[in-house]
């Protein structure tokens, strides 16, 4: 069966996961993290993709982004890889790709999943026991969202701004949201949708998005069609 093209819808929110090949450690010192983030920022500007949240984990990367068109997302990720992989290979005297195939991505409904997905991304280091508090991990957008630093990579989403009328209100509301637990079903839904490339959202959202793309947005139901009587 032919592989479906990646689901990309302009101006919609996309969750992206890029994993390393065979568990290779992607970032080994501060310079590696800083280079990758700088190239993400440059590529975002070049290809008109807004980055709303991210985390750089030892063997994978999560991004929450909005592309302006249907090609910018792919071009951005390819551009970053073309800069980071040669840099990494030269520095650590290795060869070959760093990535486990092509990156995974899907479209998510912002009103339902922006905050859960952003928090899910930024809480990865805590769930992986790299740190005790999300604010202790320097390679994510969480410190930006709670006002501890300004991250030039981040373009604040309108749903983040809707958390409060002042920066203090938004930062406090976001921090409170991080401190609340969210369901394993939400975690599973976000992960599975992204890895499999299926749109994540309500029935109405799926109907609206299906009008903007010719690609299937959810799997075909198995089994024989129901007999009409």
Domain boundaries, the chain: 13-206
pLDDT value of residue 75: 97
Q: Do residues 209 and 217 touch, judged by C-beta distance below 8 A?
A: yes
pLDDT at 48: 98
Q: Are 54 and 63 in contact (CB under 8 A)?
A: yes
Closest CA to 54 of 71, 37, 67: 37
DSSP-assigned beta bridge partners for residue 14: 65, 107
CA distance 222 to 199: 18
Q: What is the pLDDT of residues 168-226, one digit of tens each?
A: 999 999 999 998 867 777 888 888 888 888 888 888 988 888 888 877 777 756 555 45
Please list the helix, strand and coil fractions of the chain in percent, rounded to the nearest 5, in that order.
45, 15, 40
Query: Quick check: pTM over 0.85?
Result: yes
Please state which CATH number belongs to domain 13-206.
3.30.70.1290
Q: Which residues does residue 56 pair with via DSSP β-bridges, in sequence order? A: 61
């Amino acid at each position: 069966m032919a592989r479906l093209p990646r689901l990309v819808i302009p101006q919609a929110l996309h969750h992206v996961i890029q994993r390393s090949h065979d568990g290779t450690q992607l970032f080994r010192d501060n310079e590696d993290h800083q280079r990758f983030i700088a190239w993400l920022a440059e590529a975002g500007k070049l290809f008109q993709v807004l980055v709303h949240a991210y985390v750089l984990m030892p063997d994978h990367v999560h991004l929450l982004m909005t592309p302006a068109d249907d090609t910018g997302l792919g071009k951005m990720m390819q551009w970053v890889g073309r800069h980071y992989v040669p840099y990494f290979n030269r520095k650590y005297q290795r060869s070959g790709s760093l990535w486990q195939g092509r990156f995974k991505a899907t479209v998510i409904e912002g009103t339902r999943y922006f905050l859960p997905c952003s928090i899910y991304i930024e809480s990865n280091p805590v769930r992986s026991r790299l740190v005790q508090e999300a604010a202790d991990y320097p390679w994510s957008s969480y410190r930006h969202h709670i006002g501890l630093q300004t991250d030039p990579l981040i373009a604040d989403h309108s749903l983040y701004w809707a958390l409060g009328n002042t920066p203090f209100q938004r930062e406090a509301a976001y921090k409170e949201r991080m401190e609340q637990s969210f369901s394993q079903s939400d975690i599973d839904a976000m992960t599975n949708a992204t890895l499999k490339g299926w749109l994540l959202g309500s029935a109405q959202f799926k109907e609206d998005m299906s009008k903007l793309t010719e690609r299937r947005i959810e799997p075909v139901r198995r089994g024989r069609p129901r007999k009409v009587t």
